[in-house]
């Protein structure tokens, strides 16, 4: 299995070196560009870099990734671009950035939540795959068909990750219509989260929000829900992550599985678990984004104690009683 890995800018070069050393198993590296809202928080870490040092380091890292033959995927995946969403200036900026990245490093694909960004890329750039973001939650043939003129490929709705019947149906439609299907392996989100869109919109506007005198802080419904001990036994049923031990079940179903690593405190650990070791011992949430290990404290959900079975073409995780370990 090959993996799509999210770039993040950190002081250490360990993550970059881990990507390069595993390049035979890396399908692509995806990254956001400064100045655009995206599906996660800023890739620049102010404590480690000045604005200019950050830009220089990012350019160097992307060049190294490209020179090692790893494809690049540019993100325009915010769920909201506000008043700029339809403006000519916004699309000119999208075009200038895409052109710069393509000519500087090479660019194989972009991922976006906006059908109009998809249309713009297809109208103005040949040879760049346009992919529908996982944030669009596309999980039906109709959903793909509606926007098929704008996208060459789709990320699977998270909630279908363990449903092989649904995956094969969607993959067949994609194959019949010249499209591709991908999936996100290590989401830490709750299934069917009622506040998911609200949260993604907040993230899209975080640079504006942080300047405000805000009356509330919002870190996600998942953290609030998981902090209640009575909900812990249900975690395996209401999540959608794929364990490193089960990745081999998806061979042939996707060109690559996406690994969320852009805001992880330890992205190297994620690469080692999924690519090098194909197993992991410890809190499974340490592999996921968001990482809610601290929310569960004093419990952890021990990955090595989770049992995997396939029933009626669905991957099922069980053994929550054994997997939930109290640390004190």
Helix (H) or strand (E) holding 324: strand 324-326
- Helix, strand and coil content of the chain, in percent to the nearest 5, comes to 45, 20, 40
Quick check: 19 and 271 in contact, CB under 8 A? Answer: yes
How far apart are the C-alpha atoms of 132 and 148, rounded to whole Å? 10
The per-residue pLDDT for 44 is 47
Per-position DSSP letters for 252-280, written without gaps between them = TT-S-EEE--SS-S-HHHHHIIIIIIS--
Which superfamily does 3-191+240-281 belong to?
Phosphoenolpyruvate-binding domains (3.20.20.60)
The per-residue pLDDT for 45 is 54
The per-residue pLDDT for 38 is 84
Mode of pairing for the β-strands spanning 153-155 and 180-184: parallel
Quick check: 100 and 58 in contact, CB under 8 A? Answer: no
Please write the tens of the pLDDT for every residue from 68-77.
999 999 999 9
Q: Where on the phi/psi map is residue 214: left (φ > 0), alpha (ψ -120 to 50), or beta?
A: beta
The per-residue pLDDT for 50 is 86
Residue 319 clears pLDDT 60, i.e. is over it: yes
27-53 mean pLDDT: 79
The per-residue pLDDT for 167 is 98
Residue 308 clears pLDDT 90, i.e. is over it: yes
pLDDT band at 109 (very low <50, low <70, confident <90, very high): very high
pTM of the predicted model as reported, rounded to 2 decimal places: 0.96
Mode of pairing for the β-strands spanning 299-301 and 129-132: unpaired
Residue 43 clears pLDDT 80, i.e. is over it: no
pLDDT band at 90 (very low <50, low <70, confident <90, very high): very high
Q: Where are the domains of the chain?
A: 3-191+240-281
CA-nearest of 257, 276, 207, 284 to 30 is 257
* CA angle, 12 then 106 then 45, to 5°: 30
Quick check: 182 and 156 in contact, CB under 8 A? Answer: yes
269-290 mean pLDDT: 98
How far apart are the C-alpha atoms of 226 and 147, rounded to whole Å? 35
The per-residue pLDDT for 235 is 96
């Amino acid at each position: 299995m090959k993996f799509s890995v999210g770039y993040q800018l950190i002081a250490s070069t360990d993550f970059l070196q881990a990507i390069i050393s595993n390049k035979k198993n890396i399908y692509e590296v995806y990254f956001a560009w400064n100045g655009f809202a995206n599906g996660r928080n800023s890739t620049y870490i102010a404590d480690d870099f000045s604005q200019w040092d950050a830009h220089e380091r990012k350019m160097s890292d992307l060049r190294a990734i490209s020179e090692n033959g790893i494809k690049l995927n540019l993100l325009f995946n915010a769920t909201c671009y506000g008043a700029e969403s339809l403006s000519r200036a916004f699309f000119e900026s999208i075009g200038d950035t895409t052109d710069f990245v393509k000519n500087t490093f090479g660019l194989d694909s972009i991922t976006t939540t906006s059908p109009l960004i998809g249309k713009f890329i297809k109208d103005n750039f040949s040879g760049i795959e346009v992919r529908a973001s996982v944030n669009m939650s596309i999980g039906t043939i109709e959903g793909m068909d509606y926007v098929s003129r704008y996208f060459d490929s789709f990320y699977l709705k998270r909630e279908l990750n363990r449903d092989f019947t649904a995956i094969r149906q969607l993959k067949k439609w994609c194959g019949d219509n010249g499209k591709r299907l991908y999936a996100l392996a290590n989401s830490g989100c709750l299934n069917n989260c009622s506040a998911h869109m609200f949260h993604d919109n907040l993230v899209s506007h975080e640079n504006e929000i942080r300047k405000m005198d805000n009356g509330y802080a919002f870190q996600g419904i998942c953290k609030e829900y998981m902090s209640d001990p009575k909900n812990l036994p249900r975690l395996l049923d209401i999540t959608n992550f794929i364990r490193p031990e089960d990745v081999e079940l998806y061979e042939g179903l996707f060109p690559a599985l996406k690994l969320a690593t852009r805001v992880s405190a330890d992205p190297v650990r994620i690469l080692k678990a999924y690519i090098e070791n194909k197993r992991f011992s410890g809190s499974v949430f340490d592999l996921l984004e968001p990482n809610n290990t601290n929310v569960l404290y004093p419990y952890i959900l021990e990955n090595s104690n989770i049992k995997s079975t396939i029933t009626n073409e669905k991957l099922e995780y069980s053994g929550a009683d054994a997997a939930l370990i109290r640390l004190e």
